[in-house]
Amino acid sequence: MNYTRPFLATLVVSSAVGFSAAAQNLSAHGLLLVCNKGDHTLGLIDPVTGKMMATVPEDGVTGHEVVASLDGRRAFVPIYGNSGVGHAGKDGQIIRVVDLAQRAVTGTVDLGKGLRPHCAVMGPKNGLLYVTTELGECVTVIDPQTLQVTGTIPTGQPESHMLAITRDGQRGYTANVSTGTVSVLDLEAKKLLAVIPVCQTAQRISLSTDDRWVFTSDQQHPRLAVIDALTNGISRWIEMPATGYGSAPTPDGRWLLVALPRLNQVAVIDLPAMKLARTVDVAKAPQEVLVRPDGAVAYVSCSGSRQIAEIDLRRWQVKRLIEAGPGADGLAWAGGR
């Protein structure tokens, strides 16, 4: 669990954008980050031009998810391993730290053994880094300044794959794949509060903007579980056109967007009504949904087409398809708001 000696990774710059212009982009309007699983890189995309300015090799196989530091200067990429969840393969044990201004890897957190670190989330109040570590059946807590592990939080379940944290930073919720459960965590006390049975197989997870509802899609049936965060029980199911995957709410709390990989669509859930309102056609195999902080657009990574669909949330249509890398998956927003 030591901070490794810093080093600079070789950059593959995909356009003629200079470092000074890139720095202005970061401070002025933010950067869109994407994990390209196919070539093991982190892509840095200018959201104004819709161009990938650079790719940073992760020097590891492979990062599925990414999160930006609260100040937007760095990105953290857990290196999961070379297999899918629940399948045999090499188990990752490190987290890469990318300086977004330098466009380089500048540090590594080594967990000491293969734990398959996967989903990284920044604590909104304490600024700590929380990373799901599947083989440890826990969430690992890391100080992003010292890059030291400060503790773990047990989930009580195998394959705790994805994590969502409430806006006050008090609670965490993990989707546990093979058991089809959701673990409820007290992040301050670092303890497990409850395990909620949901379905046979779960995958992704998200929260409503008021933290009242927890959402996870059944991976065997086309339905979305709505969990009441007050009772830690399923409140209702929302029928879907197909099996859902990544999801994200809009900042106003009105809509939840859910990727539908098999249909190449995104479902739009009316949250006050708790029902499907519409679908939006995107590119092939949508995976993760990221709503921009201003609520104007949503970005959807589409691994089958090496693209990110940018959806206009007023017109409910794709504005453009942004070229990313092979196996485009995890998304994060860094910098401007």
Q: What is the pLDDT of residues 143-155, one digit of tens each?
A: 999 999 999 999 9
pLDDT in tens, 247-272: 999 999 999 999 999 999 999 999 99
CA neighbor of 58 nearest in space, from 106, 20, 91: 106
Tell me the mean pLDDT in the region 53-72.
Answer: 95
Asked whether the beta carbons of 47 and 292 are under 8 A apart, the reply is yes
pLDDT at residue 2 in the model: 36
Is it the case that residue 163 has pLDDT exceeding 60?
yes
Q: What is the pTM of this model?
A: 0.92
Q: What is the pLDDT of residue 289?
A: 98
pLDDT value of position 28: 58
Q: What mean pLDDT is predicted for residues 279-284?
A: 98
Average pLDDT of the residues in 131-144? 98
* 155-239 has CATH 3.40.605.10 classification: no
The β-bridge partners of 79 are: 63, 94
CATH class assigned to 1-131: mainly beta
Question: What rounded mean pLDDT belongs to the chain?
Answer: 92
Residue 238 pLDDT: 98
**Per-residue pLDDT averaged across 163-192, rounded?**
98
Topology (CATH level 3) of domain 244-337: Neuraminidase (2.120.10)
CA neighbor of 74 nearest in space, from 110, 29, 40, 106: 106
In DSSP terms, which residues pair with 133 in a beta bridge? 117, 138
φ/ψ of 230, rounded to 5, equals -80, -35
What is the DSSP code string of 113-179?
S---EEEEEE-TTT--EEEEEGGGTEEEEEETTTTEEEEEEE-SSS-EEEEEE-TTS-EEEEEETTT
Using a pLDDT cut of 90, give the percent of the chain over it: 90
For the chain, the domains span 1-131, 155-239, 244-337
Q: Categorize the per-residue pLDDT at 9 as very low, low, confident or very high, splitting at 50, 70 and 90.
A: very low
| pLDDT at position 263 | 98
> Rounded distance, CA 143 to CA 33, Å?
21
pLDDT by residue (tens digit) across 109-120? 999 999 999 999
100 contacts 116 by C-beta, under 8 angstroms: no
Q: What is the pLDDT of residue 299?
A: 98
The pLDDT score that the predictor gives to residue 26 is 52
The tokens describing 224, both together, are 């979305």
Instruction: Dump pLDDT digits (tens) for 211-248.
Output: 999 999 999 999 999 999 999 999 999 999 999 999 99
CA distance 326 to 313: 26
